[in-house]
Amino acid sequence: MNRTEGRVKVTGLATYAAEYPVENVAYAYAVQAQIAKGRVKRVDGTAALEQPGVLAVLSCEAAPRLSGDADPELALFQSREVAYRGQIVAAVVADTYEIARAAAAAVRVDYDADDHDVRLSADHPGLYQPETVNPDLPSETQKGDVEEGLARAERSVDVTYRTPVLHNNPMEPHAALASWDTEGRLLVYDTSQGVTASRATIAQTLGLPPEQVRVVARHVGGGFGSKGTTRPQAILAALASRMVGRPVKIVLTRQQMFDVTGYRTPTIQRVRLGVDAEGRLTALEHMAYEQSSTLVEFAEQTSTPSRVMYAAPALRTGHRLVRLDVATPSWMRAPGECPGMYALESAMDELAYAAGLDPVELRVRNDPETEPDSGLPFSSRNLVGCLREGAHRFGWEHRDPTPGIRREGEWLIGTGVAASTYPTRRWPSQAVVTTRDGDFLVQLAAADIGTGARTVLARIAAGVLGVAPERVHVELGDSDLPQAPLAGGSMGTASWGTAVVRACEELMRDGKEGRADTTEEIKADAKLARHAFGAQFAQVRVSSVTGEIRVSRLLGVFAAGRIVDATLARSQFLGGMTMGLGMALMEETVTDEEFGGFLHRDLAQYHVPACADAQHVEAVWLDERDDRLNPMGSKGIGEIGIVGTAAAIGNAVHHATGHRIRELPITPAKILALRP
Amino acid sequence: MNITLQVNGVPRTVDVDPRISLLDLLRERLGLIGAKKGCDHGQCGACTVLIDGRRANACLALAVAVDGSEVTTVEGLAADGELHPLQSAFMEHDAFQCGYCTPGQLCSAAGMLGEPGPSAVTGDILVDPDLTPEEISERMSGNLCRCGAYVNIVSAIGEVAR
């Protein structure tokens, strides 16, 4: 069975948030702050309001009041304070998009500007230790004595890696279409990774009871975390619609997305590793320095994968955060694991060279019996299997580790390896299954952001019901359906699938209907270390003339529990790895230190991989089943593909050129700068 | 001002704001949501349609500038409910995830298959090259897919190109 919504997607009939046919719709266009810090002194909408077709100008001088405890990123027009350049300070509503856009340019905003600070550094005086890091983990952990471990090490490395601001850039811009009915109920078509949570946030922000709000997101054009939390477009559409008494649509421009839809914090990471004469780690320390806004503390869990990966008698991980005059960072595919594993797995490669060990062998020797930080047993862990399988498929045994010696004309050639990991968790969810015309209908407020949730849940239900998956229809993406958690944290299938299995089991007993709520079941989960693992192998070709880097082969081998749908799983792994390739070689948003905000604000400046960049990407998996996680025996697969890719490619660039570039992305300019 | 376009074979006369792009005309005025707005700057290819048979970014064309043209959108690729071979191949090869870039990929591929001549990766530029995976990847690099479905997109197009 192919993707169940495939036909509507290839025929152009699938409706994304801005695409629902609504009569008499008006258009909103946002006006953004032109200073990085300060106050709005005055908003003059006169020239805008004079333009024919303009219905309203919203700003801190003219907007409905919102709930006092609203997320500051969503509390539009409630204050004169400007916390970052690009923050939404006003909006125009008009009959057409063309009028709204032109009128927005005519809104005059005067400011009192203060000095700003947007530069992250590892010695910033404002650095502090957050109490917890995302999602709710200790910010600091320590076991054993790192200094003692390093002192007795045969070989050690002390290296610092940097990753830039990264933007999710889903293809579908953040958009919302809001309308109020005569009873004061709000309907929002929103770009959302989870309509249950989005309904709660929108209701809370507007000071409404949740049952008065309905959020619909039948198709979502990618999110990668940026649509996991409610974004300002939903609130703006609702406010504007209330003001003008018509349905209002807003589609953020690609440029505006860079400012107000979240991004991955830049990181500075220091990793210290020591190894004894037998190749066993004596110490592992991983410290991450990162930023958040002055509005909200968002602390990316960057060094947490080092609590999971390798057996080290002395292990210390920590985070330091500084609050800058920037937008609030947020989730981007594999927050924490993605940047953290870039640093750890690059440092492990450096340690392998320092110790004269094969990098696969170094990882195998340090594979732990139990989770290093917590001491908990793993529900399953097959990192070594992934490394061995990948090494076999990649022809690793024939690799000469000497860097910088393989050449074909102008091209230097190298290979690299890195490990992948991602936690595998589940959240409580509800689901209902009923019979319909001899088929089955599964309903829950899940989201399909491109993962294939409909298809996977149909397969899961069909497995329990003992019918062909084509006979199961899945309805999702509507907050009126039974409550369900986000498509996020690689938890969708595990969370929703558990509820679907339980509902189907009840239907089998009842004959007509099954309802499930997995809250109690999940509360009773045993304490275990739950993670998926993988290994990625890269071959690169680096031009000694232009500095161009081509990834001529990228192989991922994953151990991610039972794979529910092989076609969809392969697509997810390939997609994650492709995004990881972008992180390694091209993705970067440069912060404007002079004026605040970002200098890169579109897809001509922020490069994501194009078709020709990702031609030789393969993903396979080991036969793994982990029955202690959930009834499917599955692990989440949406994020692990991006974890480790950048390190594998960076390690391959070192093998090709003999140089370590410790700051992503590895661009031709950085390669050319290596020349004597 | 009034303009007339043949959209998917149907003549459409519309009174337009001269500032409206072809893309916004299709999406907001004609109810054809297939062509997608990803960047509005000709950088992502999600809005790709065929204008007089050639692939083009609908966001970069002012509607008034294409007055009198024939425009084919993804909705016009399937004839009488029969999917275009590319549409079937995209489904069979799982050549999309979120589906947002898909209409642009399909229109771009449909246009690309009819384009003669060499590309930047063609060896002998004096003969029309075979559409190898490398040629297809090169010729489809104006259509971004953030889900990273490229490997499957190339195999889907390759099947139709054979």
Q: Is A24 left (phi over 0), alpha (psi -120 to 50) or beta?
A: left
Give CA–CA dist A176/A184, Å, rounded: 18
Per-residue pLDDT tens over the stretch A147-161: 999 999 999 999 999
CB-CB neighbours of A100 under 10 Å: 27
The answer to whether residues A18 and A248 touch, using CB atoms and an 8 Å cutoff, is no
Listed in sequence order, the residues at least 6 apart from A674 whose beta carbon sits closer than 8 Å to its beta carbon are A657, A659, A661
Quickly state the pLDDT bin for B64 (edges 50, 70, 90): very high
CATH topology classification for A430-523? Aldehyde Oxidoreductase; domain 4 (3.30.365)
pLDDT band at A353 (very low <50, low <70, confident <90, very high): very high
Express each pLDDT in A307-327 by its tens digit: 999 999 999 999 999 999 999
- Over range B41-64, report the average pLDDT: 98
User: Residue B41 pLDDT more than 90?
Assistant: yes
pLDDT of residue A287: 98
Q: Do A602 and B41 touch (CB under 8 A)?
A: yes
Distance from C-alpha of A483 to C-alpha of B76, rounded to nearest angstrom: 38
- Residue A68 has what pLDDT? 87
The answer for A 56-115 residues in CB contact with B (under 8 A) is 96-99, 102
Contact: A612, B101; criterion CB under 8 Å: no
The separation between CA B73 and the C-alpha centre of its own chain, rounded to angstroms, equals: 7
> Nearest-CA neighbor of A232 among A336, A77, A110, A337?
A77
Residue A12, pLDDT above cutoff 90 = yes
- Which strands, in side-by-side order, build the sheet including A439-443? A472-475, A439-443, A430-436, A513-517
Q: Does A671 touch chain B (CB under 8 A)?
A: no
* Antiparallel, parallel or unpaired: β A472-475 and A513-517: unpaired
Instruction: Please give the backbone phi and psi of residue B63, each rounded to the nearest 5 degrees, phi first.
Output: -55, -40
CATH of the domain spanning A24-115+169-260: 3.30.365.10
Minimal Cα distance from B46: which residue of A?
A171
Closest residue of chain A to B31, computed from CA coordinates: A21
Contact indicator for A422, A639 with CB cutoff of 8 Å:
yes
User: Domain A378-424+530-676 is in which class?
Assistant: alpha beta
Q: Among B28, B73, B137, whose Cβ lies nearest the Cβ of A12?
A: B73
The confidence band for A487, taking pLDDT boundaries of 50, 70 and 90, is: very high
Considering CB atoms only, which of B90, B143, B150 is closest to A578? Answer: B150
A621 confidence band (pLDDT: 50, 70, 90): very high
Q: Which A residues 143-182 touch B at CB under 8 Å?
A: 169-173
Query: What does the pLDDT look like over A57-73, one tens digit per residue?
Result: 999 999 889 988 999 99
Least confident of A177-186, A512-521, B5-14, B79-88: B79-88
Q: Which residues of A are catalytic?
A: 639
Question: Of the candidates A102, A173, A452, which has its C-beta nearest B37's C-beta?
Answer: A173
Averaged pLDDT, A614-639: 96
Tokens of B8: 């998917």
Ordered domains of chain B (ranges, CATH): 2-76 (3.10.20.30), 85-161 (1.10.150.120)
Chain B: residue nearest A169 by CA? Answer: B146
Strands, E, within A218-334: which ranges? Answer: 248-251, 267-275, 281-293, 315-324
Q: Is B149 within 8 Å of A574 when comparing Cβ atoms?
A: yes
**Omega into A135 within 30° of 0, i.e. cis?**
yes
Q: What pLDDT is stored for residue A442 in this prediction?
A: 98
Q: Give the model's confidence band at A98: pLDDT under 50 very low, under 70 low, under 90 confident, else very high.
A: very high
Classify residue B24 as left (phi > 0), alpha (psi -120 to 50) or beta. alpha
Residues of chain A with Cβ-Cβ distance to B92 below 8 Å are 2
CB pairs A-B closer than 8 Å? 185
Q: Look at residue A429 in the predicted model and tell me its pLDDT.
A: 98
Which residues of chain B have a CB within 8 Å of the CB of A575?
Answer: 97, 147-149
- Residue A472 confidence (pLDDT) above 90: yes
Give the pLDDT confidence of A405-438 residue by residue, as tens digits. 999 999 999 999 999 999 999 999 999 999 999 9
Q: Determine, for residues A6 and B36 on separate chains, whether the beta-carbon distance falls below 8 Å.
A: no
Instruction: For B66-104, write each residue's pLDDT tens digit.
Output: 999 999 999 999 988 899 999 999 999 999 999 999 999
Of all residues in chain A, the percent with pLDDT exceeding 70 is 100
A chain contacts of residue B41, beta-carbon cutoff 8 Å: 254, 602-604
Of A219, A572, A614, Cβ closest to residue B150: A614
Contact assignment for A615 to B152 by CB distance below 8 Å:
no
Cβ–Cβ of A10/B147 closer than 8 Å?
A: no
Q: Is the pLDDT of residue A253 over 90?
A: yes
Q: Where are the domains of chain A?
A: 24-115+169-260, 117-157+272-377, 378-424+530-676, 430-523
Span A493-546, pLDDT tens digits = 999 999 999 999 999 998 899 999 999 999 999 999 999 999 999 999 999 999
Tell me if chain B has a CB within 8 Å of the CB of A253. Answer: yes
DSSP bridge partners of A43: A109
How far apart are alpha carbons A215 and A199 in whole angstroms?
A: 6
Q: What is the mean pLDDT of residues A390-402?
A: 97
pLDDT in tens, A564-582: 999 999 999 999 999 999 9
Per-residue pLDDT, averaged over A478-493, amounts to: 97
Q: Chain A: residue nearest B141 by CA?
A: A611
Q: Is a pLDDT exceeding 90 seen at residue A676? A: no
Q: Is the pLDDT of residue A119 over 80?
A: yes
Q: Does A566 touch chain B (CB under 8 A)?
A: no
Query: For all residues of chain B together, what is the average pLDDT?
Result: 97
Q: What is B8-55 written as a DSSP string?
A: TTEEEEEE--TT-BHHHIIIIIS----S--S-SSSSS-TTEEEETTEE
Provide the pLDDT for residue A102. 98
pLDDT at A47: 98
The answer to whether the CB atoms of A171 and B140 lie below 8 A apart is no
The pLDDT of A238-261, averaged and rounded, is 98
ipTM of this complex: 0.98
Are A24-115+169-260 and A430-523 equal in CATH topology? Answer: yes
Q: Is A193 on the interface with B (CB under 8 A)?
A: no
Give pLDDT tens digits for A22-33.
Answer: 999 999 999 999
- Reported as a pLDDT band with limits 50, 70 and 90, residue B128 is confident
What DSSP line would sit under A448-465, residue for residue? -SSS-HHHHHHHHHHHHH
Nearest CA to A256 out of A317, A181, A175, A320 is that of: A175
User: Are A604 and B106 within 8 A, CB to CB?
Assistant: no
Contact list in B for residue A96 (CB cut-off 8 A) is 17, 20, 28
Bridge partners of A270, per DSSP, are: A160, A287
The CATH code of domain A117-157+272-377 reads 3.30.365.10
pTM for the model stands at 0.98
Closest by Cβ to A611, choosing from B87, B99, B154: B154
Produce one character per residue of A342-372: b if its CB has 16 or more CB atoms within 10 Å, e if not: bbbbbbbbbbbbbbebbbbebbbbbbbeebb
For residue B73, the chain A residue with the least C-alpha distance is: A12
Backbone angles phi, psi at A461, to 5 degrees: -65, -45
The pLDDT of residue A400: 97
Mean pLDDT score, B5-18: 97
Put simply, whether A608 touches B (Cβ < 8 Å) is: yes
Task: Choose the closest CB to A615 out of B31, B90, B137.
Answer: B137
